Structure 1
Amino acid sequence: MTNLNGKTAVVTGSTSGIGLAYARAFAGAGANVVINGFGAAADIEKERSAIESEFKVRAIHSPADMTRPDEIAGMIALGETTFGAVDILVNNAGIQFVSPIEEFPIEKWNAIIAINLSSAFHTIRAAVPGMKRRGWGRIVNTASAHSLVASPFKSAYVAAKHGIAGLTKTVALELAAHKITCNCISPGYVWTPLVEKQIPDTMKARDMTKEQVVNDVLLAAQPTKQFVTVEQVAALALYLCGDDAAQITGSNLSIDGGWTAA
């Protein structure tokens, strides 16, 4: 079991879904956590307090907007001033928009690049000096199967996730001599409330049953015909933050039911 007692993890986009699973996994291993993201205040407080009560660690919430570099720097500073360090950084915040490229709204392109790619640059830039001073750090970036392959009508998302893969490699090389690793995880379709909520509309739009939507639309690219779970993604991130993964850096680790094997 990975032991993160005394460590602090900052996880962006962590008020639900994969990000919340990351935060809970780190807390379960003994780390204090800074969660980040939007949502109803009561819902965020429920998750924050649950982490503290279940895992006997401290958890705080930063509402930092991932399109604003000043707020991102403030989030890292909040972690350092509250807990004395930011040892683990997970870049997970992301949004999606689907459109033919000639119709793709410019503001949507800019927002996806800012949140899915540029925010990772800003968090890493802010967190690395402290990691270097302490001589230890773990950076995990949530990429996607779309960091390795493309799908039509997702130009901004695919470009951002390919960018995350390149950023990961560059940061890994720069920090290799400082006992700081940087890797990315590339999930396929993960079962989250966001995915589940898409099913009824897709059933209606395509005149399909729920089973047809799941197997023939959502899981069409995944040979296992099974969703990845948030717990599986979080378990991989947790492993990457342990001592056994000290020599894994600059890697792009797929967890996609075989999607990118073809």
Structure 2
Amino acid sequence: MSEVALVTGAAGGIGRAIAGRLVGDGWRVLAVDLAPDADGPGDPFGADLTTREGNRSAVDAAVERFGRLDAVIPNAGFQHVSSVEEFDEDRWDALVALLLTSPFLLSRYAWPVLRASGNGRIVVLASVHGLVASPFKAGYVSAKHGVLGLVKTLALEGASQGIRASAVCPGYVRTPLVEAQVADQARVHGIPEDRVFEEVLLAPQALKRMLDPSEVADAVAFLLGPSGSAFTGAPLVMDGGWTAR
């Protein structure tokens, strides 16, 4: 019987690419999103992952539909670009809820079935911003740093129970989430929008290119496969040389 994965934020961008890659590899996938895409890869399921009920219902749905759960891939997220002084407090709460609390809740609720799998895996989509900081992204950077701490704890607790936890830390990926930042980045940095990619987004990277979502999906598939069996408690960094500085 094929393995089952729960992928959040699966309606577009990185999450859609991950769900598609896993379906192509023979996985059965519950594709979770606030507004799920009925035409996308996997079995769509709608849930508000900023709530406890939404996270629990996603795990329950995977088990009810497929009878098991072998991997959880928390990917859902959004961005907010603002100075600390002007950072909206509700946006802070929502960022932490979706980027940090949701991966914890999904892991907590899925723990018994991941243990029963005998080869349970949690792969969190973190970010290079889990390792470094950029200005005007206090909420995102704080949540991504926190989720890497969560991954370390999950790995230590899960090792004796057949559960591995890791993360993927990409640099900028060509997705609608990144493209939607351009206007705000131009505003806070005081530059024209056509200079944002060169002077802000790609400036810290040695390799001056965006990643494609399929490259991130390949990394997740590697961590879920036999060749990734030694990875736990640490991120797989694919940042174009950003953190080499």
Q: TM-score, normalised by structure 2?
A: 0.93
Matched, 1:237 2:230: no
Secondary structure of 1:186's aligned partner: strand
Q: Which runs of structure 2 are paired with 1:89-238 in the superposition (5 Å)?
A: 89-199=72-182, 206-207=191-192, 210=194, 212-238=195-221
Supply the distance in 2 between the matched residues of 1:70 and 1:194 (Cα, whole angstroms). 25
Moved more, 186-195 or 116-125: 186-195
Matched position secondary structure for 2:9: coil
| Pairs aligned (count) | 243
Distance change >3 Å, CA 202–CA 171, structure 1 → 2: closer
Deviation at 1:221, TM superposition (A): 1.5
Does the Cα contact within 8 Å between 1:17 and 1:192 map onto a contact in 2? yes
1:202 positional shift = 6.6
Cα contact 2:164–2:232 (8 A) shared by 1: yes
Please list the CA deviations of residues 105-126 of structure 1 after superposition, one character each: whole Å capped at 9, or x if unmatched: 2111111100110000010001
Aligned runs of 1:9-158 on 2, under 5 Å? 9-39=5-35, 44-47=37-40, 51=41, 59-158=42-141
- Opposite residue 191 of structure 2, the aligned amino acid is R
Match of 1:56 in 2: none
Cα distance in 2 between the residues matched to 1:139 and 1:60? 19
- Using the aligned pairs only, state the percent identity: 40
Which has the larger share of helix? 1
Deviations 1:36-60 (A, max 9, x none): 1134x6xx1122xxx3xxxxxxx32
RMSD: 1.9
Q: Unaligned 5+ residue runs, structure 2?
A: none
- How far, CA to CA, are the matches of 1:105 and 1:129 in structure 2? 37
Is the CA contact 1:179–1:246 (under 8 Å) kept in the aligned structure 2? Answer: no
